[in-house]
């Protein structure tokens, strides 16, 4: 026959065991809650989205280390001109607006625009000498156009030209060309016939 002291001992042991199990369970739940924000599900690429890097890439380079602000303007088929005053279009985005040495931690002078997709039609690339605080003239500029004909391949240079800007506020059409539906340059479409891309009402500074 069990004595009262024996019953109390068994009850105390049960309470300790139950408390230990509950504490272990609470600790596990707490760890799961703390880890949840750090668990990121694998993101599947959405159909129809282009991988990073752009389908058509336009870049310009001018001499490093001079305080000269050259602006790149591009226009894709059936889209608005894209440049510093309007960095986002339906097709192109201006990724870098270089102001020369102003607010720059490197001496490198370049601007570039990337496209989303490569619609067939005419593309126009213009250069505008916006500011020349360095007083260096003329300004030689290299223009390069790269494109990807397939979503899985790397961009390859398809066009390049050298342009010289010799006065402030000068705007030059560097390249006009037409891409076909497969992303190739239509033969005979390359020219540099001037067409301004500056927005109507954009005031050229004198």
Instruction: Give the model's pLDDT for residue 134.
Output: 85
106: which DSSP letter? S
pLDDT above 90 coverage of the chain, percent: 54
> How, if at all, do strands 171-179 and 92-96 pair?
unpaired
**Residue 85: how many other CB atoms lie within 10 Å:** 14
Residue 70 has pLDDT above 50, yes or no: yes
pLDDT digits (tens, 9 = 90+) for 82-96: 999 999 999 999 998
Cis peptide preceding 118, ω within 30 of 0 = no
Instruction: Give the model's pLDDT for residue 53.
Output: 61
Instruction: Give the model's pLDDT for residue 40.
Output: 45
Residue with tokens 């397939």: 150
Instruction: Provide the edge-to-edge strand list for the sheet that holds 171-179.
Output: 68-75, 121-132, 171-179
Instruction: Give the model's pLDDT for residue 42.
Output: 44
From 13-22, 107-116, 159-168, the region with the lowest mean pLDDT? 13-22
Strand partners, 90: none
pLDDT above 70 coverage of the chain, percent: 76
CB-based contact 94:149 (threshold 8 Å): no
Instruction: Give the model's pLDDT for residue 27.
Output: 74
Biggest CA pair distance of the chain: 112
CB-based contact 199:85 (threshold 8 Å): yes
pLDDT digits (tens, 9 = 90+) for 161-192: 999 999 999 999 999 999 998 889 999 999 99
Residue with tokens 């000068």: 170
The overall average pLDDT reported for the chain is 82
pLDDT digits (tens, 9 = 90+) for 26-65: 777 767 666 655 554 443 434 443 444 689 999 999 999 9
Instruction: Give the model's pLDDT for residue 141.
Output: 97
At 75, give phi and psi (nearest 5°). -140, 125
From 8-17, 61-70, 74-83, 150-159, the region with the lowest mean pLDDT? 8-17
């Amino acid at each position: 026959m069990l004595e009262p002291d024996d019953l109390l001992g068994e009850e105390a042991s049960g309470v300790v065991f139950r408390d230990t199990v509950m504490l272990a369970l609470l600790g596990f739940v707490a760890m799961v809650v703390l880890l949840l924000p750090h668990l990121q599900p694998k993101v599947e690429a959405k159909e129809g989205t282009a991988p990073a890097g752009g389908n058509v890439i336009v870049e310009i380079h001018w001499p490093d280390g001079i305080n000269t602000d050259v602006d790149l303007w591009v226009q894709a088929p059936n889209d608005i001109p894209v440049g510093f005053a309007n960095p986002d279009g339906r097709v192109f985005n201006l990724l870098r607006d270089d102001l020369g040495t102003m607010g720059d931690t490197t001496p490198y002078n370049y601007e570039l625009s990337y496209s989303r997709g490569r619609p067939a039609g005419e593309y126009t690339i213009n250069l505008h000498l916006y500011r020349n605080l360095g007083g260096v003239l003329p300004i030689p500029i290299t223009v390069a156009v790269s494109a990807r004909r397939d979503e899985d391949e790397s961009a390859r240079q398809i066009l390049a030209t050298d342009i010289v800007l010799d006065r402030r506020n000068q705007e030059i059409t560097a390249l006009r060309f037409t891409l076909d539906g497969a992303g190739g340059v239509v033969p005979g479409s390359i020219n540099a016939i001037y067409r301004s891309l500056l927005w109507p009402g954009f005031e050229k500074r004198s």
